[in-house]
A = this chain, B = another copy of it.
Amino acid sequence: MKATILNIGDELLIGQVVNTNASRMAQMLTQAGIDVCGTYVIGDNAEDINYYLRHCLERSEAVLMTGGLGPTKDDITKRCLCEFFGSELYENREALANVRRIFEARGYELTPINRQQAWVPRCCTVINNVLGTAPCMWFSCGMENGEWRMENHPGAAANSQLSTLNSQLSTPNSQLNEESNSQFSTPNSQFKKVVVSMPGVPFEMVNLMETEVVPRLQKYFRTDQIINKNILVQGIGESFLSDLIEPWETTLPATIRLAYLPQAGMVKLRLTARGSHDQRPLLEQQIADAVERLYPLAGQYIVGEDLESLPELVAYTFKKHHLTLATAESCTGGALAAQLTIMSGASEYYRGGVVSYCNEVKESALGVRHDTLETYDAVSEETVSEMAIGVRTRLGADYGVATTGVAGPSGGTPERPVGTVWIGIAGPEGQLVTKLLHFGDRRAQTIERTTHAVWAELIKLVKSTHKE
């Protein structure tokens, strides 16, 4: 079963907004066992919307659209869907109740133009969008006399039936009632395709996809079960890892696929098992067995399971061992701190940090000696060592990490060119690790790669100090 993604919006087309929706949607579909065969961005243009609706329906079973659902003139997706399916707009009772609820909660008056948010094509099924005023719309359709038509629907007379369905559907975690509406059962031979139109606001789309659209698609198309397992590997390059685990890889059952996903400072191994619903227990067992058999070969490089990034791994490791951390940042300028604190629960292990962007702050807030800065320079092994030790001591943490360098593009000298970075890590037993790194003159990249290096070295030190 294949899906296409159709993102509508001039702001996407001209590049004013990065299309994060496409990647989020693709991730969710892929994880649900639905293959994405194409993603399309088009403008708020009736001709193009009509053309690509047809195009996508010809190439896939499910077309997932976002955008063009606002109350302003240039939002034309609903009108286009009406024309495409030969339908008309009507005011949907549940959609109106939702719009009312949201306006009341915000203390705004419901104007006629906002009320239009509750108008939908007559024969679609409305999926309630609890986070916003634009409703999500589901169309089951098929080809009839060379035209795409929606599944035959009782129309206006069914409004009350639809309402019943909608009120059931809008209850979180409600079981889908198959009897009440054929649109959520498996398609018959003629009406076997689905178009879903969602708002383009990212968090509304994500919530709708997660709680409603993806589960319905899985049910409607009886998609395969997909079980994923991530294993984070660190301290070994992709090709060496591949050689090391080849004997294991060749014995994986045919139901399991292995992917190498090289990431910042590490490699993520992803095991994916795919099969029918009944096979789920078997697949889970196969994955568990495979992981167990991987440890004897590569256990020394495995740093975590089911984690996505190095900062997540830091958080996991520090919480597990009940350790605390402090950061002293010069060239990374707060990026280390921000990477940790964007994750909830950071206060369990992160005590805080100092961004010492001038020498005086290195001295006053971290206790770096004036002599050290004078004699060895701010970008030196001596300075980064005193920063790491200073922040650890002053902020009362088990571990202290520090960075100092020339992020560039200006500020380089012949002895200390742009991209020169020192990192340092101070531990509770007097351990001190320092490392000199050389990057190029791309500032953002230097900052990012420095953070990867710090996390990698920190995890290495913590793991060697606090054995399982």
Interface string of A357-378 (1 = CB under 8 A from B): 1101100110000000000000
How many angstroms from the CA of A137 to the CA of B203 in the assembled complex? 39
Which of B28, B338, B345, B394 lies in contact with A338, CB distance below 8 A? B338
What residues on B are CB-neighbors of A356 within 8 Å? Answer: 352
| A294 at interface by CB-CB < 8 Å | no
CB pair B395 A365 closer than 8 Å: yes
Interface residue A43 (Cβ < 8 Å from any Cβ of B): yes
Question: Which residue of chain B lies nearest to A7 when distances are taken between CB atoms in the complex?
Answer: B39
Given contacts A342-B444, A358-B352, contact A25 B16 (CB under 8 A): no
- The count of identical subunits is 2
- Give every chain B residue within 8 A of A295 (Cβ-Cβ): none
* A341 lies within 8 A of B334 (CB): yes
Known: A41-B22, A327-B355, A353-B355. A342 touches B333 (CB 8 A): yes
In the complex, which of the residues A29, A340, A355, A407 has the most CB atoms of chain B within 10 Å of its own CB atom? A355
Contact indicator per residue, chain A 326-340, by CB within 8 Å of chain B (1) or not (0): 010100111111101
Query: In chain B, what residue has the closest Cβ to A11?
Result: B261
Majority DSSP secondary structure for residues of A touching B:
mixed
Asked if A257 lies at the interface with its beta carbon under 8 angstroms from chain B, I say no
Bound CA span A212–B279, Å: 54
A1-55 residues with Cβ-Cβ distance < 8 A to B are 12-20, 22-30, 36-43, 48
Taking the closest CB of chain B, its distance from the CB of A328, in whole angstroms, is: 10
Contact B20 A25 (CB under 8 A): no
Q: In the assembled complex, which residues on chain B have CB atoms less than 8 Å from the CB atom of A351? A: 357-358, 360-361
Report the bound CA distance from A347 to B411 in whole Å: 10
Question: Which residues of B are found within 8 Å of A395, using beta-carbon distances?
Answer: 360-361, 364-365
Question: A394 contacts B365, CB within 8 Å?
Answer: yes
